[in-house]
Amino acid sequence: MRMYDIISAKKQGLELSEEEISFFVRGFTNGEIPKYQMSALLMAICLQGMTSKETMILTKEMAKSGDIVDLSVIKGKKVDKHSTGGVGDKTTLIISAIVASLGVPIAKMSGRGLGHTGGTIDKLESIPGFKISFSQKEFIDIVNKVGICISGQSGNLAPADKKIYALRDVTATVDSIPLIASSIMSKKIAAGADNIVLDVKTGSGAFMKTLEGSIDLAKAMVDIGESVGRRMVALVTDMDTPLGYAIGNTLEILEVIDVLNGKGPKDLIDICIELATEMLYVSDKGSLEECKALAKESLESGKAFSKFLEMVESQGGDVSYITNTDKFEKSNVCYELKSNKSGYISKMDVEGIGIASCILGAGREFEGEEIDYSSGIVLNKKTGDTVKEGDILAFLHTSSLEKAKSAEEKILSSLEFSNEKPNEQPIIYARVDKDNIIRY
């Protein structure tokens, strides 16, 4: 079998066989297939697409290229949740506490932020002492004892995906639904959960900018998961506006604590309730209505907050910072960004706002770059709000005035104003499972 022939077949739009897909995944992972040939194949896939069968085979091959985590010794059905990435998206921390407080084990591996999207692990590491690296035994023991553990991703989880993604990132082949779906699902399958809920973002701050593309991606991932025995549900959710008001690691932890204490922004609370509901539902905790009632009760009664405290303590975090948030380190500069226009905020370029948070120090442009946990943005106005010239749009937390001024320019260029109030957009656009696509 030759890589040349596989590239030629896909260039012509032909369906690749299981043997051919296995050949290039294993060969590239092992270093036997050069980057220039793999780049050519990725471009052919990007232009010609892949069938559902090809996508499922590719996902399985990438999943088994490294470690497959065995969670069978954890009691109960394990549920995982994955977001395709957004700005201000701290839902994992809230919904994991809700779901674990109701007896569903959460054994979750999460990633760091890169580019304009934040990472769950970075947020958690802003809590002093919080540990994210464990042996498999330690990880499983914590889940069995506390009901929840969120760790960093294993270095050998789907290594084929890591190598292929690094190449996609520099060859303009990222935006291919089969490649995105197989990338995400290979890691989810390898991570070992029984059931998976997907939060597929759509809009200016999302990877998928269009609703139709987001629904297609959601359906592709649901089908992959179901084909390997996972129970799957996906929600397609809005990312044309940042989620909540806080963007940046410590700032987002503070907002998480607010929500778990019965406060916090409505959009964040609403989407957390919906995602937690779906996680409980795929874990057989009742009907959707019953699961929503359970999720609300956990949040309102303080059960979820208690479980969050347990998780922080079990992973070495200093709980006193959670109970007394004044202890968190504050940035040197808190700059008031004021509006230079009047009217309604009609549109936000959320990716631009995410980039502004990186300018302030809250994100990284390349893997391994240091971040400033205390930096970021606290929005004062969002889409639909009325603004007068001189009103405060946001508070910029950073280490220097120079960074604040640079971020200010980026944020102001990311906002559009109008004289009329824009139509309110839904938080959830669609629900996708193995049988149905329901649009809202």
Q: Return the CATH number at 235.
A: 3.40.1030.10
Is the same domain home to 11 and 155? no
Whether residue 212 is contained in a domain is answered as: yes
Identified catalytic residue from 90, 116, 187, 285? 187
More confident residue, 10 or 364: 10
Is the same domain home to 291 and 365? no
The pLDDT of residue 367 is: 63
Identified catalytic residue from 60, 82, 231, 397? 82
161 is known as an active-site residue: yes
Whether residue 237 is contained in a domain is answered as: yes
Identified catalytic residue from 89, 122, 161, 238? 161
Q: Are the C-beta atoms of 204 and 397 separated by less than 8 Å?
A: no
For residue 166, name the pLDDT band (cuts at 50, 70, 90): confident
For residue 152, name the pLDDT band (cuts at 50, 70, 90): confident
Identified catalytic residue from 78, 112, 168, 219? 168
70 is known as an active-site residue: no
Whether residue 64 is contained in a domain is answered as: no
Number of domains in the chain: 3
Whose structure tokens read 């674990």? 100
22 is known as an active-site residue: no
The pLDDT of residue 113 is: 62
Is the same domain home to 276 and 291? yes
Is the same domain home to 432 and 411? no
pLDDT digits (tens, 9 = 90+) for 387-403: 999 999 999 999 999 99
Q: Return the CATH number at 369.
A: 3.90.1170.30
Whether residue 213 is contained in a domain is answered as: yes
Mean pLDDT along residues 235-259: 96
Whether residue 153 is contained in a domain is answered as: yes
Is the same domain home to 183 and 293? yes
pLDDT digits (tens, 9 = 90+) for 12-21: 999 999 999 9
Q: Return the CATH number at 31.
A: 1.20.970.10
Averaged pLDDT score across all residues of the chain:
93
The pLDDT of residue 268 is: 96
More confident residue, 115 or 436: 436
For residue 116, name the pLDDT band (cuts at 50, 70, 90): low
Is the same domain home to 226 and 84? yes
The pLDDT of residue 156 is: 84
The pLDDT of residue 371 is: 87
The pLDDT of residue 114 is: 60
The pLDDT of residue 232 is: 97
Identified catalytic residue from 65, 126, 151, 183? 183
For residue 366, name the pLDDT band (cuts at 50, 70, 90): low
Q: How many CB atoms lie within 10 A of CB 43?
A: 18
Mean pLDDT along residues 152-162: 83
Whether residue 65 is contained in a domain is answered as: no
The dihedral of CA 102, 105, 111, 112: what is its sign? positive
Is the same domain home to 316 and 340? no
Is the same domain home to 284 and 346? no
Whether residue 274 is contained in a domain is answered as: yes
Is the same domain home to 367 and 334? yes
Is the same domain home to 15 and 127? no
Percent of the chain with pLDDT over 90: 84
Is the same domain home to 355 and 337? yes
Q: Is 172 exposed, middle or buried (0-12, 13-18, 19+ CB in 10 A)?
A: exposed
Domain that holds residue 376: 330-418
pLDDT digits (tens, 9 = 90+) for 42-79: 999 999 999 999 999 999 999 999 888 889 999 888 99
pLDDT digits (tens, 9 = 90+) for 197-209: 999 999 988 888 8
Asked whether the predicted pLDDT for residue 167 surpasses 70, the reply is yes
pLDDT digits (tens, 9 = 90+) for 327-351: 999 999 999 999 999 999 999 999 9
Is the same domain home to 44 and 85? no
Whether residue 423 is contained in a domain is answered as: no
